[in-house]
Amino acid sequence: MAEKKLMKGNEAIAEAAIRGGCRFYAGYPITPQNEIPEYMSWRLNEVGGHFVQAESEIAAINMVYGSAGAGGRAMTSSSSPGISLKQEGISYICGAELPCVIVNMVRSGPGLGGIQPAQCDYFQAVKGGGHGDYRMLVYAPNSVQECVNLMYDAYDKAEKYRLPVMMLGDGMLGQIMEAVELPPMKDPKTFPKKPWATTGEGIGKTRRIINSLYIVPDELEAMNKKLQKVYDEMAANETMVEEYKLDDAEIVLTAYGTVGRIVKSSVDLLREKGIKAGLIRPITVYPFPKDAFKRVGEMPCVKEIVAVELSTGQYIEDVKLYTECRKPVKFYGRSGGNVMSPEDVVDFVLKEVK
Amino acid sequence: MAKITISKNLCKGCGLCVEACPKKIMQVSKTVSNDKGYFVAECVDMSQCIGCAFCATTCPDCVITVEK
Amino acid sequence: MSIVFQKPKFLTDAPTHYCPGCSHGIVHRLVAEALEAVGAEGHVVGVAPVGCAVFAYNYFNCDMQEAAHGRAPAVATGIKYTNPDNIVFAYQGDGDLASIGLAEIVHAAARGVNITVIFINNAIYGMTGGQMAPTTLLGQKATTCIYGRDAMLNGNPIKVSEMLATLDGPSYVERVSVADVPNIKKAKKAIEKAFRNQAEGKGFSFVEVLCACPTNWHMTPLQAVEYVKGDMTKIFPLGVFKEV
């Protein structure tokens, strides 16, 4: 039974996580995601969960490692500089094959940067960020409702593949207020058992050990191969993409997150001007929607692709890679916290592409 | 003989100087405001000023210069 | 008539962004007065924190470096060891110093590196909108403990001065407040001493200053300084905790 409410992005994400089963949250204040720990601080108690305002983002991710290792549905959130701090912990979580949820409300960088929206953490989210060969399931929602929908099942996915699910948002998504339909609270009794978790009962051969240290090279190589198989399975099953007015498109615009939403309006504006524009909007940025881009690379009507992002050009590299350089790819981006309008994108296309 | 000069545009009307003044000759104006919209501090009777600089000492914004 | 009190030269002319009644402005001035008293002109570098004082590099009239959240003591250590004749100071809030930066301040203190650290304790996270700080009092409300800080749920406040004083490294640790004129005068002496110690090569000096945050305490400036004088001083007693 769905409930409809007007909610701020950050708060909706927190509520959806709780309805999806989150019962432990550790985080630290950083703009623009403060509403997430603030909401969790009172809401988790109401459902028998536990909230900790950690001393730092590093402590928080390690608390999540602990909770997840013990079988809990744990979550942390932060923004860019804080996510940088979490990288070691994320690598450990992946090496130990633990499920959890991490939210990044991206702000402009580098360094202390700004507090306005950006998409300059793409590399950090999908190409590693931390050390070692690991991946996460990375969602890039474009609306508060999409945040809620993806967050609601995030733990199910995280536990199926035993890895972190990252919600790659931005300052705009965290702060806007939209009407959302909230799904019903999941019943923890229905959650799958975790035979690997340190619930405290193990002894002798039944002990559970959560660890990422594999000092024997052959063992670590086998571990890495195992992880790669999981990522391949994830790529086969979890890739999500939105294709809009693509069938006869001559100019393909591509963007993710809130920029995907902005660019959808640009597509409509261009169509009104008689230009056959279309949109590819990845909903998972990892696994990357490779097939969608491969197809676009093979479509004879497509003349040019324009990657639009709030960065100086990160996502565009994967766009070029997966279209296998068969079509020219142009870049339109803003950074520093500036956000383009649908008209800005239209102007760019009219000037640079046609 | 002593006097204070108030840089009105730096004043945020916090009122700490009013409390600190031992001669009780400071107030936050109800009519005079600055470019930022703050009602500013003012001395209602400079002849009473003893130049103790308590107002300036407690002011967070270096609004007050004291002469003696 | 001559001027007996004016804005010190180690403060720039930039109007500050601090809220009306915020203690940052007072302590900035005390630091500037201390720098002048020890003749620091031409050889001083300050380190700004992440917090309301993140823009301190706009207000202190000397070379400044912005540090990542909590890392100011480490940054100051690097600066000091590069030009040891410089007066080097770190200016930090309670999130910066007592939360994420706890390792950095303890080790800088234990190392006894000859820097001056000014710790602004206003028992709240100001810049990010009023979350609980490590120094938030039990019962005090904040946006991440909306019913009031509870020892079981949220832990107990941390007394940094007492903690650092247990180490062999520091040469001087004092807690002061800027709640009223008599306290501000004592704070001025303490801060000047902390800088004089550095100038004389005495080693790590630390002054914790109890400060008001009217905005996030939801009080008027006058109510806020009363809270500092009353409740805060009860939990964080003023005084010298270490002096070599």
pLDDT of residue A73: 97
N- to C-terminal Cα separation, chain C = 42
What gap in Å lies between CA A97 and CA A91, rounded to an integer? 10
Contact between chains at B65 and C20 (C-beta distance less than 8 A): no
What CA–CA distance (Å, rounded) separates A114 from A32? 10
Intervals of CATH 3.40.50.970 along chain A: 3-238
**Residue contact C95–A37, C-beta within 8 A:** no
C15 to chain B: which residues are within 8 Å by CB?
Answer: 9-10, 61
Kindly determine whether residue C145 and residue A41, on different chains, have CB atoms separated by under 8 Å.
yes
Q: Strand A50-53 and strand A177-182: pairing?
A: unpaired
CATH 3.40.50.920 residue ranges of chain A are 242-353
**Does residue C87 sit within a domain?**
yes
Backbone angles phi, psi at A254, to 5 degrees: -140, 135
A345 vs A337: CA distance, rounded Å: 16
Q: Which residues of B touch C180 (CB under 8 A)?
A: 19-20, 58
In whole angstroms, how large is the CA radius of gyration of chain B? Answer: 11
Q: Closest Cα partner for A257 from A160, A156, A126, A127? A: A126
- Domain locations along chain B: 3-67
What is the pLDDT at residue A31?
A: 97
**Is C8 a member of any domain?**
no
Q: In this complex, is the C-beta atom of B49 within 8 Å of any C-beta atom belonging to chain C?
A: no
Q: Residue A322: exposed, middle, or buried by beta-carbon count in 10 A (0-12, 13-18, 19+)?
A: middle
The two most distant CA atoms of chain A are separated, in Å, by 72
pLDDT in tens, C103-145: 999 999 999 999 999 999 999 999 999 999 999 999 999 999 9
Q: Let me know if A88 is exposed, middle or buried by CB neighbors in 10 A (0-12, 13-18, 19+).
A: middle
Question: What tokens does C157 get?
Answer: 């406040």
pTM of the model: 0.93
**Architecture field, domain A242-353:** 3-Layer(aba) Sandwich (3.40)
Tell whether C67 lies on the interface with B, counting CB pairs under 8 A: no
C4 at interface of B, judged by CB pairs closer than 8 A: yes
CA distance A43 to chain C (A): 11
C73 CB neighbour count, 10 Å cutoff: 28
Q: What is the pLDDT of residue A354?
A: 63
CA distance B11 to chain C (A): 8
Of C66, C125, C153, the CB nearest to A112: C66
The predicted structure's pLDDT at residue B12: 98
The predicted pLDDT at position C113 comes to: 97
| Distance of residue C63 Cα from the nearest chain B Cα, in angstroms | 21
Give the CATH fold of the A3-238 domain.
Rossmann fold (3.40.50)
Domain residues for the domain of C223 are 24-236
**Are A39 and A75 in contact, with CB atoms under 8 Å apart?**
no
> What is the predicted pLDDT for the residue at B65?
98
Residues B46-65, mean pLDDT to the nearest whole number: 98
* pLDDT digits 0-9 by tens, C81-104: 999 999 999 999 999 999 999 999
Query: How confident is the model at residue A1, as a pLDDT?
Result: 60
Q: What is the mean pLDDT of chain A?
A: 96
Q: For chain A, which ranges sit under pLDDT 50? A: none
A41, C99: Cβ pair inside 8 Å? no
* E strand map for chain C: 3-5, 44-48, 63-66, 87-93, 116-121, 172-177, 205-210, 239-243
The pair of structure tokens assigned to C26 is 């007072």
Contact in structure between A118 and A310 (CB atoms under 8 Å): yes
If you classify domain B3-67 with CATH, what class do you get? alpha beta
CA distance A157 to A168: 16
Decide the pairing of beta strands A74-78 and A100-106: parallel
Cβ of C21 within 8 Å of Cβ of B67? The answer is no
pLDDT at A299: 96
B·C CB contacts under 8 A: 77
Are the C-beta atoms of residues C97 and C133 closer than 8 Å to each other?
A: no
Tally of domains within chain C: 1
Interface A–C counts its CB contacts (< 8 A) at 50
Is the pLDDT at B44 greater than 80? The verdict is yes
Strand-pair category, B26-33 with A137-139: unpaired
What does the pLDDT read at residue C8?
97
Q: Which residues in chain C are contacts of B13 at CB distance < 8 A?
A: 20
**Interacting residues of A281 by C-beta distance below 8 A, sequence separation 6+:** A142, A241, A242, A243, A244, A254, A255, A256, A260, A263, A264
Question: Does C244 map to a domain?
Answer: no
- Residue C151 burial (CB count, 10 A): 10
- Cβ neighbours of A237 (radius 10 Å): 11
Domain CATH code at residue C149: 3.40.50.970
Query: What average pLDDT does this structure show over B38-63?
Result: 97
Where in chain A does DSSP place strands (E)?
3-8, 24-27, 50-53, 74-78, 100-106, 137-139, 164-170, 177-182, 241-244, 251-254, 277-282, 284-286, 304-309, 329-333
Instruction: Give the list of residues 6+ apart from residue C169 with CB closer than 8 angstroms, or none.
Output: C109, C110, C111, C112, C203, C204
Cis peptide before C84 (omega within 30 of 0): no
pLDDT at site A201 = 87
- The string over B20-52, giving b where at least 16 C-beta atoms fall within 10 Å of a residue's C-beta and e elsewhere, is bbeeebbebbeeeebeeebbbbbbeeeeebebb
Residue B20 with chain C: CB contacts under 8 Å: 180-181
Q: What is the DSSP string of A138-175?
A: EE---SHHHHHHHHHTHHHHHHHHTSEEEEEEEHHHHH
Tens-digit pLDDT profile for residues C193-225? 999 999 999 999 999 999 999 999 999 999 999
- pLDDT tens per residue across span A115-166: 999 999 999 999 989 999 999 999 999 999 999 999 999 999 999 999 999 9
- Of B9, B15, B51, nearest to C4 by CB-CB distance is B51
What integer pLDDT is reported at residue B19 of this predicted model? 97
